[in-house]
Amino acid sequence: MDKKRVLVTGSNGMLGMDMVSFIGDLYDVYRTDLEEKKNFRHDGKRFSKCDITDGPTTIRMIKEAKPEVIIHTAAWTDVDGCELDQEKTMKINAEGTHNVALGAKEVNSILIYISSDFVFDGDKTSPYKEDDMPHPVNTYGLSKLKGETFIRKELDKYFIVRTSWLFGKYGKNFVDIVLDKAERKEELKIVVDQFGSPTYTLDLCNALIKLMAVPTEGHTAGGVYHFSNSGSCSWYKYAEEILRLGRKQDAKITPITSLELDRPATRPKVSILDIDKYAAFAGKTPRSWEAALEEYLLVDLKKEAKDHVQNFKK
């Protein structure tokens, strides 16, 4: 039986790299990004160089690959950078997503779009549900919301998966930043008044695989899902747990407010996602962010380093 063909955009990114590795043995995987990034886990996975802001090239690439599913992870995720260059942000995150949606429409693919908790303003005191009204407070969130709008306009078969506070082996993330600064004995000034839910890329990959397995006979499939690890915290509490698991409790960590940090982009105060819909679909609640973080720091990073050494010796 032929394997389902899956195209992963943004295959060099933190989520894209993990996604290709995660599904590599299960599906016929195609990768695409601006440049090919060598990774031994991606050996044998076909790659097409593509800039999603180039509409004709993107559509042509998708028509040539003929994927049954497109997992669209490509995005510019530097929230402050996005605020300082709004034109570039919209070109990549909104127009680029529109181009991918048009390509998916040409070949009747299911499109899985990775969106963000930042489509919400953070004024709600309880977790955000899928049908809550989006109201982004920064350019990044607005660009992701526009991407959602394009997908709804162009496609009948799609999943919009909003997630939050991603961490994983590939790409710089908050966990790496905290541990790097602690290692260099730098003071950590961490925001105490913003709340959300950390999400491990591997757990998100597993959720996406479950969604991909949904039968798609008929005209429509999918909808909007929220996914994160369960539980929530402030950035400060998150940093404390990172330092504890990383055995860096001697690091100097100081709580500060959002106003004290003074960054170009406003962040939502509370962007916790309600994951009940996904939990009902999957038949279980995702594990806690603390358990996921512990596995990431104490098991997966060590295994990744060992695997790279063994591969280098081959």
Query: Dmax of the chain from CA atoms?
Result: 58
Asked if the structure places residue 242 within a domain, the reply is: no
Q: Which letter does DSSP use for residue 204 in this model?
A: H
Count of domains forming the chain: 1
Asked if the structure places residue 152 within a domain, the reply is: yes
Asked if the structure places residue 181 within a domain, the reply is: no
pLDDT of residue 1: 59
pLDDT of residue 216: 57
pTM: 0.93
Range of the domain at 18: 5-173+197-230+270-289
Cα dist from 231 to 114, 272, 281, whole Å: 20, 9, 18
pLDDT of residue 235: 98
Residue 64 amino acid letter: E
Look at residues 111, 104, 133, 103 and name the one whose alpha carbon lies nearest to residue 120. 133
Look at residues 288, 265, 273, 258 and name the one whose alpha carbon lies nearest to residue 192. 258
52 class by beta-carbon count within 10 Å (0-12 exposed, 13-18 middle, 19+ buried) = buried
Look at residues 78, 79, 157, 81 and name the one whose alpha carbon lies nearest to residue 113. 157
Q: Are 263 and 189 in contact (CB under 8 A)?
A: no
Asked if the structure places residue 91 within a domain, the reply is: yes
pLDDT of residue 299: 83
Asked if the structure places residue 166 within a domain, the reply is: yes
CA distance 215 to 222: 10
Asked if the structure places residue 161 within a domain, the reply is: yes
Q: Are 165 and 259 in contact (CB under 8 A)?
A: no
| Per-residue tokens: 165 | 């506070």
Residue with tokens 């690959």: 65
- Active-site residue flag, 140: yes
Q: Which letter does DSSP use for residue 194 in this model?
A: -
Question: What CATH number should be reported for the domain holding residue 204?
Answer: 3.40.50.720
Please tell me which residue in 30, 128, 140, 236 is annotated as part of the active site.
Answer: 140
| Per-residue tokens: 48 | 């097409």
pLDDT of residue 263: 94
Asked if the structure places residue 60 within a domain, the reply is: yes
Three-state secondary-structure class, residue 313: helix
Radius of gyration of the chain (CA): 19
> Would you write out the chain's pLDDT as a tens digit for each of its 314 residues?
578 999 999 999 999 999 999 998 899 999 999 988 766 555 667 889 999 999 999 999 999 999 999 999 999 999 999 999 999 999 999 999 999 999 999 999 999 999 999 999 999 999 999 999 999 999 999 999 999 999 999 999 999 999 999 999 998 899 999 999 999 999 999 999 999 999 999 999 999 999 988 765 544 457 999 999 999 999 999 999 999 999 998 999 999 999 999 899 999 999 999 999 999 999 999 999 999 999 999 987 666 544 543 443 34
pLDDT of residue 42: 59
pLDDT of residue 23: 92
Asked if the structure places residue 73 within a domain, the reply is: yes
Q: Provide the b/e sequence for 77-102 (b: ≥16 CB within 10 Å).
A: bebeebbeeeeebbebbbbbbbbbbb
pLDDT of residue 41: 58
| Per-residue tokens: 50 | 């593509």
